[in-house]
Amino acid sequence: MICGVDEAGKGSVLGPMVVAAVGVRNEDVLAPLGLRDSKLLSAKERERLYPLIKKVCKVAIIRLDAHEIDSVRCEMTMNQAVARAHARVITKISPTCAYVDACDVNIFRYAAMVRSNLERDCEIVSEHHADDKYLVVSAASIIAKVTRDRAIATLAKKFGEIGSGYPSDPVTIQYLSDYIFHHRQPPPIARKSWKTVSNLIAKRSQSSLGDFS
């Protein structure tokens, strides 16, 4: 069996990171589905493909919530944390070869990081933009993206309009700014170890000091 691995939400400041692995005996079963990197597909198309992938593939998913990411970042870099999560889903699939979308500028170093966290031997093929090159990684990217999008939608029902959760999203930054202004602390769904959060807290503190100047 071979598998593809990808994640969604690595750089998000709000919500979880989702890591998915998709395993197949033969990649030919994926060819008729018309898979592409999840970022190149509409949300509707990703939702359509999601059950089709799960029907013909073995799928493993790991979700790391904001507080869990803050916790692991006390022990390791984010790249190391992603490599460990990649290894965990690979172990669940138990393939002979795994194709991973490299999170490190050095693809060989990233392969070594993943390999060092595996419970059993497995060939690791680490490449940049692997979700564009291998159907199994494209499939994994779709599973990860749909799972994370659903999680963000659930959080929005509880916390209000939070946007995509990424620092580049003005809706997300506005939500964070407003929450910190009113509560004097970040929301529980925020990754407190992110500079985006600490910068907004510092800005709030400066505004408060300005009230007394």
pLDDT on residue 19: 98
pTM listed for this prediction: 0.91
**2.70.50.30, 3.30.230.10, 1.10.10.460, 3.50.30.60: CATH of 159-206:** 1.10.10.460
Euclidean distance between CA atoms 153 and 150, whole angstroms: 5
pLDDT on residue 213: 41
- In DSSP notation, 49-92 reads HHHHHHHHSEEEEEEE-HHHHHHHTTTS-HHHHHHHHHHHHHHH
pLDDT on residue 116: 95
When pLDDT is cut at 50, 70 and 90, the band that residue 37 belongs to is low
Q: 85: closest CA among 121, 53, 60? A: 60
pLDDT on residue 204: 79
Which CATH fold would you assign to the domain 2-156?
Nucleotidyltransferase; domain 5 (3.30.420)
When pLDDT is cut at 50, 70 and 90, the band that residue 212 belongs to is very low
pLDDT on residue 209: 47
pLDDT on residue 58: 95
Q: 16: closest CA among 107, 111, 82? A: 82
Predicted confidence (pLDDT) per residue in 155-203, tens digit: 999 999 999 999 999 999 999 999 999 998 999 999 999 999 999 988 8
- Highest mean pLDDT of the ranges 33-37, 59-63, 100-104, 200-204: 59-63
Predicted confidence (pLDDT) per residue in 100-131, tens digit: 999 899 999 999 999 999 988 999 999 999 98
Percent of the chain with pLDDT over 90: 80
Q: 15: closest CA among 204, 176, 198? A: 176
Euclidean distance between CA atoms 182 and 204, whole angstroms: 10
Per the listing, tokens 């493909």 go with 49
CATH 1.10.10.460 in the chain, residue ranges: 159-206
Choose between 42 and 39: higher pLDDT. 42
pLDDT on residue 138: 93
Choose between 211 and 18: higher pLDDT. 18
